[in-house]
Amino acid sequence: MARDDGGMANLPLACSSSGDLIAEQAGQLRRLAAQALLESRRTTTGLRLRFTASREVEAGLREFVGWERGCCPFLDFVLRTGPEEICVDVHAPREASPILDLLAAVIDTKRT
């Protein structure tokens, strides 16, 4: 049976953004995580991020997801909002596992 990855398997595993922009976006995500991250965990197909819901957090996550979709099309982002929390599921091809590890490390609020 073929795996349905939405065509992600055919996309190159490369980011089209500059190093400065990547650092800026990582900083934004780190600030959102420090402010509102409830959980970060790996799933069978990627990474799940749960945040406490607020307008500011939602706006920041929408901006981050929009940027990521433009520079890393091999990642699939699903953002779901609710009254109490915002969930971001990141799905990726198996070969992109190191990129998911890097994303998880960026939002690790226990790191200094």
Residue-wise pLDDT for 12-63, tens only, equals 455 544 456 566 777 888 999 999 999 999 998 899 999 999 999 999 999 9
Domain span at residue 65 reads 37-112
Alpha helix locations (H) across the chain?
19-36, 55-71, 97-106
pLDDT at res. 2: 35
Average pLDDT on 1-5 reads 38
Residue 112 lies in a domain: yes
Assess contact for 57 and 22: CB atoms under 8 A: no
Q: 89 falls in which pLDDT band (50, 70, 90)?
A: very high
Residue 72 lies in a domain: yes
Q: Give residue 56's identity as a one-letter amino acid code.
A: E
**What global pTM score does this model have?**
0.78
Please give the C-alpha separations between residue 62 and each of 9, 45, 48, 58, 97, in angstroms, as whole numbers.
Answer: 24, 21, 15, 6, 23
Q: 68 falls in which pLDDT band (50, 70, 90)?
A: confident
Q: What is the mean pLDDT of the chain?
A: 81
Give the number of domains in the chain.
Answer: 1
Residue 18 lies in a domain: no
Residue 2 lies in a domain: no
